[in-house]
Structure 1
C-alpha cells in the first residue's frame, strides 16, 4: 500500500506516523510545501517573546529523524497543485525551482490545514505587516522586532510599537509576548469583546486584566489601511488607519483575524465540501472519494451538542482525526465522532477558555438551554495563592445535560475546563456534577469543588429550589420589580445596581415584614450565595415572584461594563493636595505596615484595610496585597470616600499591590486678619425644589459677602450636567444612566406634586411670572459671584459622568476636599 500525505504539520505528521506503526510495509510519502515539518506552531508566539529562548525546541522532527525512526519519505518545499482522482496521482511543484513532477498513490490523505486571513486592505503587503502561522513567519517577525529593539537600545529611535489585528487566542498571545519584549502594543478587534470563543461575561475580566497590563484595546473597530511611515531614523514603519479615524504608528503589525480552511486542492479535485466551506468527511475521516481521506483544520466534523458540522482549527482534534484516518487507511474500523472545541489561553497571569457550545452558538442553533454563573476560588480561600474564578455553565432544561462551560481566572482553570470537557464527552448531567468525587487538599481545591458547586446551583434551578434572573434583563425586564441588594452597607455604598435598595442579609428577616408579597422581587449579592439565602427566606414566607441574580453583581458588572477598565497610572493624585484650603491629606510619617488580603473576595480586602486604617495614625501608610482584580476600582473609591490617599497601585499576579496613606484634617493656621465668613453646602438631592433652595441660599450668602463652596454628590451632580455635552465613547452602563438620569438643571423634577410633569411646569411658570430666576440662571449667578462648584469624583465614576459632561467651571474633588472646606466654614448644610 502506498500512502501519500499532503501536509507535514500536526495532522499530516500524525497520519504518517500512525500509519507506519500499523503497517511496516507501506510506502509512505509526506509532501510539505513549507521548509519545516512537524513543528510546534502553538509555541511560535513564545519564541518571539523569548519565553522559549531556543528556536530548536520548536522543531519537533526533521525529514532525517522521521526517515530514521519511522522510515517516512518526507519531502520539503513540495506543493501539491492538483489531484487526478482517476489515475490516482498528484501533481507536485517544487516551491524553490518551479519544477513539476507527479506521484502515484493508493490512498491519499489531505492535511493542508488552514491559511491566515489577509483582507484586501490598502498597504496589506507592506513588510511591516505579518502573519504568524509557520516557522518562517516567526523568523521574519522576530528578526524585525530584534532590529527595532536594538536600534532603541542604541538610542537611534524611541519606543518600539506594534499593532495586533484580532483579539483571539493567537492575537492575545502575541500581544503578551511583544509586551514582554518591551514593545508598546495596541490590539484591534472588530467584535465588541476579546476572545470570540467565549461569551462576553467571561471575556470581560480578561479584558480588564489585559488593559491593566498596559495593552491598548480598540473594540468594535477594524483596520482600514496600512500606509508607509517616513521616519527620520530611516525605520521601515507603517501607520495603521482604523475605521474609527484613529491612526497608530507601528514598527510591526500582526494580522490575527482568523483562518480559512485550505480547500483549493480539494475543490479543484471535485471533492464534496461541507456547509461551512471545509472538506466533508464521514466518521472514518473519508472524503467523498473512497481513496482520499482528510484531517485537521480543513475538515468539518460533528459537534456533540450542536446540530450540523463545524470547523475547529485546533491542534488536539487535528491529531486525533489523523489517528482515526490512519487507522481506517490501514484497515481498522475506527470512528471520529465529534469535536467540542475545548480550548484555553494564557493572557499574562490570567487563563481563559471553554468547551462545548457557547450561548451564541446555542441561540443560533435554536437549542434550548439554561445558564448558571459562579465565582468560586481556584482552591481553598484560606490557603495562599488563589483568586476568584469566573464560571459559566450551560445545560439542558429537559434533562440537565451539560452543553457547554467557560471559565477564566488565575489558578485551577485548566483543571475545571478539562473536567467539564469530560462531562460533555461522556454525556453527563448537572446532577452527575453534584456527585463527582474530586481530589482535594487546600493547595489544590475545595471540599466543595467548583465542579460540584456548578452541579449544586444548576440542579437547584432544575428542581425549582432556585429561580434566577440575568444581568441581560436589566433594565428592560426589571421595571416594576423591587431590586434588593442583600450585601453589607459598605459594599452597597461602594457600588450598587441603579434603583436597588439596600437590605443587608443580617437584617433581612425583620425588614421584609411589611413588604407586598405580590410585588416581584429581584435579589442580588456579590456572587449569588447570600441572595440565594434571601431567596429561600422570601419563597418560604409566601412571596409569589422571587428571583436571584445569576452570578451576582460580579457578573452584572462584566455584562454591563459597570467597571471602567483600569489603566496603569503613576501614583494617583488626590484633589485635596492641590487646593489652597486646609488639606485632609496628612504628610507621610515614614511608617508603613503590610497587609496580606490574598484569597479574599470583595468586600474582604476593603473591610480588612478599613480596620487597619483605624489603628494607624495620620500619615501612616499601609501596603496591601490583594488577589481580587476588582480592588483596582474599589480601593480608590473607598480611599476617596474616607479621605485617604492612594499612593500607588501596581498589578501583581491576579490582583494588585497598593499603598494607602491615612488622611487627617490639618489644623487651620491662625491669622491676625479675620477670615471672611464661609458657607459650605453638600448638594445630595436631585429634586428641583431642593436644588433651588441650595442655590438661593448660596446666592444670598454671596450677596452678604461670604465665601461659598458647594459639593455636589450623587443625584445632586445631575444639576451640573450640560444639556448638550460633547460626543464621547460611552459604555453600556453610561448610556443606561444617561437615559435614566436628568440631563441638566432644566430636567430636574419636584420632589412632591410633580404630577407627571404638570406640577414641575406650573412651578416654573409661577417663578417666571414673579421674575424669580430659573435654576440655570441661579447656577450662572452663583458661579459669577465666585461660588466654588465641586463635583464628587467618586459619584462621577459610579454614574459614568465625565468632566466634559459638566458645566464649564465645575471643579472636581473628593470627600477630603469638602472636609477641608467645611472646617473653614461657619455654616455647613446638607441638602
Structure 2
C-alpha cells in the first residue's frame, strides 16, 4: 500500500474516504487539504438549520480536531490546492490565512472538489440580502441575516431540491415566500403530472409560484427583482438555488479528462485517466447503469459508496463501482416525492422506447385510520421489461415504495417481477396487494393482452 495519500476537499467525499483508508491501514499518512473552514458537514442539513428544525448548528458539523485525532489525518483548513504536478506526483497549495505557498508529494491523490452554486451574471447580486445556498458559510450568512434583519418576504430563484426545501423552512421562519422557476414546473426531475401535486401543496401553504421566469436584474438595493419578461417583484431576501457547477478547474489544468456531463471522468474504480489520481463526489462523472450513458449525480449516497470503492482499491481490493441510479427524495411539509432513474423528458430526449404505468392508491388499507393518497409512476422498456425509472408522491409511504423499486432495479428485476415481491402487510402499513405489486400486475396484464 502507498505511504502517503493526499486528499483535496473534505465534506462527504474527502472526509469519508479518509476514514475508510484509515480503517484499512493504520500506518499510511493521510493529508487533507480543504479550502473552507470545515472538514466535514451535512449539506443536506443546511435548510433545516435555517428553518429551526435542526436547532443545534454543531449537530451538522464534524469537529476538525476530533476527526484528526480519530483518523490520524493531517488536516489543512483554509488551504487551496492550486496545481497538480503529475510527473513529480505533488500538489502545490496556498494557505489562505497567511498567503504562504507550499507543496506536498503524494503516492496517490484523491480529488473531492465538490461543486459550486450556479450564480447568474446579473447586476447587484452582491446586495447584502442575496445569498446562494451551498456551504456552511452560506448557511451562516442566511441565518444571521434572518436573525438580525427579520425579513418578512423571500424570493427563491430555482425550484429544485434546495429550492423546495428552503421554501418550507423559510415559511417555518414566518416569511412569505415566492418561488421563481425558469421552466414550467418545480422539480424538473419529476414528470409534470407528479410535479403538479407538489405545486398544489406549495400553493396550499401560501407560496406564490412564478414559472417560465428568469431573474434578470436586482434593483433598489436588493429589494426589487426584475425578470427577463419584464415582470417585477419585491422581497426582503433572495435565495439563489439555481443548480450547481462541478469544480473541475484543477483537474482540467492538470490534463485530467472532463466528460460529457462536465464532470471528471472516472473508471469503475473511480480512477481518472491518471491511475494515481482518483475522483469522487459531486465532480465525478460515472455511468448510468440503466442506459449505460455518462452520468454526474451530486448526491450523498454515491459519494459515500465511491469513498469505499477508492479506499479498497488503494488497499489492493478492487471492488467496481457499478454506477449511480440517482435515487432521491424530497419533502415539503407532510408531502414527500421520491424518484429514481429516468423521467419522461430524459427518455424522450435519448429516443429510448418506454411504456408507463401509474397507480393511484392508498398508503395503507383504506379502512384503517390515517390512510393517505399515494401516486406511483413507473417507466419501463416494452421489450426487455427493464425498469427505467420511477417516481412516488404522497404524505405517507412514498419513501417505502421508491426504496422497494430501487432495490428491484438494483437486482435487475423486470416490471413484471414487481407482482411477485412479497411485501409486509398489515392494515396500518399496506394492502394485501401493495401498490408496487399492482404496478407489476398492470404491466403484465397489458403484455399478456397484447400477445
Q: TM-score, normalised to structure 2's length?
A: 0.98
Q: Which residue is 1:36 aligned to?
A: 38
Deviation at 1:63, TM superposition (A): 2.2
* Counterparts of 1:329 and 1:123, CA distance in 2: 47
3-state SS of the aligned residue for 2:55?
coil
Deviation at 1:465, TM superposition (A): 6.4
Q: Which residue is 1:138 aligned to?
A: 139
* Counterparts of 2:219 and 2:313, CA distance in 1: 51
Q: Is the 1:224–1:242 contact (alpha carbons within 8 Å) kept by the matching residues of 2?
A: yes
* Counterparts of 2:138 and 2:322, CA distance in 1: 34
Q: Which residue is 1:184 aligned to?
A: 176
Deviation at 1:326, TM superposition (A): 1.4
* Counterparts of 2:323 and 2:242, CA distance in 1: 25
Q: Which residue is 2:252 aligned to?
A: 267
Q: Which residue is 1:440 aligned to?
A: 425
What per-residue deviation string (whole Å, max 9, x for no partner) do you get for residues 459-499 of structure 1? Answer: 11222269xxxxxxxxxxxxxxxxxxxxxxxxxxxxxxxxx
3-state SS of the aligned residue for 1:209?
helix
Q: Is the 1:285–1:325 contact (alpha carbons within 8 Å) kept by the matching residues of 2?
A: yes
Pair 1:424-2:409 in alignment: yes
Q: Is the 1:148–1:251 contact (alpha carbons within 8 Å) kept by the matching residues of 2?
A: no
Deviation at 1:424, TM superposition (A): 1.1
Deviation at 1:66, TM superposition (A): 1.4
Q: Is the 1:295–1:318 contact (alpha carbons within 8 Å) kept by the matching residues of 2?
A: yes
Q: Which residue is 2:157 aligned to?
A: 165
Deviation at 1:206, TM superposition (A): 0.6
Q: Is the 1:36–1:76 contact (alpha carbons within 8 Å) kept by the matching residues of 2?
A: yes
Pair 1:303-2:288 in alignment: yes
Q: Which residue is 2:395 aligned to?
A: 410
Deviation at 1:244, TM superposition (A): 2.5
* Counterparts of 2:271 and 2:404, CA distance in 1: 31
* Counterparts of 2:45 and 2:307, CA distance in 1: 21
Deviation at 1:362, TM superposition (A): 1.3
3-state SS of the aligned residue for 1:10?
helix
Q: Is the 1:297–1:318 contact (alpha carbons within 8 Å) kept by the matching residues of 2?
A: yes
Pair 1:91-2:83 in alignment: no
* Counterparts of 2:359 and 2:245, CA distance in 1: 35
Q: Which residue is 1:113 aligned to?
A: 114
| Aligned partner (choices 212, 215, 223) of residue 220 of structure 1 | 212
* Counterparts of 1:46 and 1:20, CA distance in 2: 31
Deviation at 1:274, TM superposition (A): 0.9
Deviation at 1:219, TM superposition (A): 0.7
3-state SS of the aligned residue for 2:346?
helix
What per-residue deviation string (whole Å, max 9, x for no partner) do you get for residues 406-433 of structure 1? Answer: 0111101000000111111111012210
* Counterparts of 1:143 and 1:9, CA distance in 2: 22
Deviation at 1:129, TM superposition (A): 1.1
Q: Which residue is 1:585 aligned to?
A: none
Pair 1:294-2:300 in alignment: no
What per-residue deviation string (whole Å, max 9, x for no partner) do you get for residues 173-205 of structure 1? Answer: 001100111101100001101001111111111
Unaligned residue ranges in structure 1 (runs of 5+): 150-158, 230-236, 467-831
* Counterparts of 2:340 and 2:410, CA distance in 1: 10
Q: Is the 1:378–1:412 contact (alpha carbons within 8 Å) kept by the matching residues of 2?
A: yes
Deviation at 1:133, TM superposition (A): 1.1
Q: Which residue is 1:514 aligned to?
A: none
Counterparts of 1:171-210 in structure 2, within 5 Å, are 171-210=163-202
Q: Is the 1:304–1:424 contact (alpha carbons within 8 Å) kept by the matching residues of 2?
A: no
Q: Is the 1:63–1:73 contact (alpha carbons within 8 Å) kept by the matching residues of 2?
A: no
* Counterparts of 2:7 and 2:185, CA distance in 1: 39
What per-residue deviation string (whole Å, max 9, x for no partner) do you get for residues 28-63 of structure 1? Answer: 00111110111111000001000111111111x222
Q: How many residues align?
A: 449
* Counterparts of 1:83 and 1:410, CA distance in 2: 49
* Counterparts of 2:404 and 2:56, CA distance in 1: 33
Instruction: Choose 342-351 or 244-253, whichever is displaced more.
Output: 244-253
What per-residue deviation string (whole Å, max 9, x for no partner) do you get for residues 56-86 of structure 1? Answer: 1111x22211122111111211111110111
3-state SS of the aligned residue for 2:154?
strand
* Counterparts of 2:209 and 2:64, CA distance in 1: 42
Q: Which residue is 1:75 aligned to?
A: 76
Q: Is the 1:164–1:185 contact (alpha carbons within 8 Å) kept by the matching residues of 2?
A: yes
3-state SS of the aligned residue for 2:282?
coil
Deviation at 1:238, TM superposition (A): 2.1
3-state SS of the aligned residue for 1:334?
coil
Q: TM-score, normalised to structure 1's length?
A: 0.53
Deviation at 1:305, TM superposition (A): 1.2
3-state SS of the aligned residue for 1:297?
helix
* Counterparts of 1:465 and 1:368, CA distance in 2: 17
What per-residue deviation string (whole Å, max 9, x for no partner) do you get for residues 512-538 of structure 1? Answer: xxxxxxxxxxxxxxxxxxxxxxxxxxx
What per-residue deviation string (whole Å, max 9, x for no partner) do you get for residues 315-374 of structure 1? Answer: 111111111111111211111011011010001211012101111111122221100111
Q: Which residue is 2:326 aligned to?
A: 341
Q: Is the 1:77–1:96 contact (alpha carbons within 8 Å) kept by the matching residues of 2?
A: yes
3-state SS of the aligned residue for 2:109?
strand
3-state SS of the aligned residue for 1:81?
strand
* Counterparts of 2:377 and 2:345, CA distance in 1: 13
Unaligned residue ranges in structure 2 (runs of 5+): none
Q: Is the 1:371–1:395 contact (alpha carbons within 8 Å) kept by the matching residues of 2?
A: yes
* Counterparts of 2:371 and 2:228, CA distance in 1: 41
Counterparts of 1:651-690 in structure 2, within 5 Å, are none
The alignment's C-alpha RMSD in Å is 1.2
Counterparts of 1:660-809 in structure 2, within 5 Å, are none
Q: Which residue is 1:371 aligned to?
A: 356
Deviation at 1:382, TM superposition (A): 1.1
Deviation at 1:399, TM superposition (A): 2.6
Deviation at 1:172, TM superposition (A): 0.7
What per-residue deviation string (whole Å, max 9, x for no partner) do you get for residues 721-741 of structure 1? Answer: xxxxxxxxxxxxxxxxxxxxx
3-state SS of the aligned residue for 1:326?
helix
| Aligned partner (choices 358, 370, 374) of residue 385 of structure 1 | 370
More strand by share: 2
Counterparts of 1:41-56 in structure 2, within 5 Å, are 41-56=43-58
Moved over 6 A (4+): none
Q: Is the 1:392–1:406 contact (alpha carbons within 8 Å) kept by the matching residues of 2?
A: yes
3-state SS of the aligned residue for 1:373?
strand
Pair 1:147-2:152 in alignment: no
Q: Is the 1:197–1:353 contact (alpha carbons within 8 Å) kept by the matching residues of 2?
A: no
* Counterparts of 2:6 and 2:220, CA distance in 1: 44
